Amino acid sequence: MKWMMNKSKSSAFLISAVVLACLVLAGCASTQHEWSHFKSNWFGLDRKITLYSADGRVIREWQGRYNLEVDSNTVRFIENGKAVLISGTFVVEEQ
């Protein structure tokens, strides 16, 4: 019977420690940043991507749930089963 009391105390302690760790880390900017990366990599994020010409006019806009691959001044994503690769001046907004 005594071992059952120790087991329940250790389970309660473990649960309390996990809840406390979650509460402490939930407010950290780095944790929120990592969670955003996780969601983006696995599910994609709702985004608006706007490509601009050299004189500032909008050439094209895309809106949807995209996983982006960014490499310096180039971005790649999939739209309707087709790869889209853009470079130049573009803005990516998380919705």
Q: Are residues 62 and 90 in the same domain?
A: yes
Whole domain around residue 50: which residue ranges? 45-95
* Residue 63 shares a structural domain with residue 89: yes
Q: Which helix (H) or strand (E) holds 21?
A: helix 2-26
Chain segment 4-59, per-residue pLDDT in tens: 556 666 777 778 777 666 655 566 666 665 656 555 655 678 899 999 999 999 99
62 and 94 co-located in one domain: yes
Q: Which residue has the tokens 């001044």?
A: 73
Report the pLDDT value the prediction gives residue 45, as an integer from 0 to 100.
Answer: 80
Q: How many CB atoms lie within 10 A of CB 85?
A: 10
- Would you state the pLDDT for residue 55? 95
pLDDT of residue 41: 57
pLDDT single digits (tens) 54-79: 999 999 999 998 888 888 889 999 89
Domains identified in the chain, total number: 2
What predicted TM-score, i.e. pTM, was given to this entire model? Answer: 0.58
Same domain for 66 and 23? no
